[in-house]
Amino acid sequence: MIRLLGLYLFSISFFTAGVTHFIYDRGYAEMLPEWVPLKLELVYITGITEWLLALLLIFPQTRRAAGFATSAFLLLVLPANIYAAIHGVPAPWSNETPLAVLWLRPLFQPLLIWWVLAVSKHSYQGNVSDKIE
């Protein structure tokens, strides 16, 4: 029951994070180095990816694969969080963010990866006949 609650809490939070990519798109784009092309498009793609992963985590049939995909996604966006912390780029919804707060994101990324892997490790447990066609 606690694992399921943790799963839903993570999924809701991840979905909400995806929504913020559309509300604070320019702030997220600033978290990317200047040499990265199509910044806004990448922000939208990552927002949609967060929606899809959050939804796939809910369904038992896709939960385990979605857990691995979400952990890989979190690793892929880690450089943007580190870049923002190094260069003092404020949180997307803020004009100014203390440096210590900016470093919380990349430092807590391993905790988020552990969390999603822990709550998604049990996949669909139906009968073998249910899995065929």
Residues 6+ apart with CB under 8 A from 68: 117, 120
Structure tokens that stand for 22 in this block: 């559309």
Q: What pLDDT is attached to residue 131?
A: 44
Report how far residue 55's alpha carbon sits from residue 51's, in angstroms, rounded to the nearest whole number: 6
DSSP state of 126: -
pLDDT along the chain (133 residues), means of 10: 91 96 95 95 97 96 96 96 93 87 93 95 53 41
pLDDT at 106: 93
Q: Please report the pLDDT score of residue 61 as a whole number.
A: 94
pLDDT at 95: 86
Q: What is the pLDDT of residue 123?
A: 58
pLDDT of the residue at 97: 86
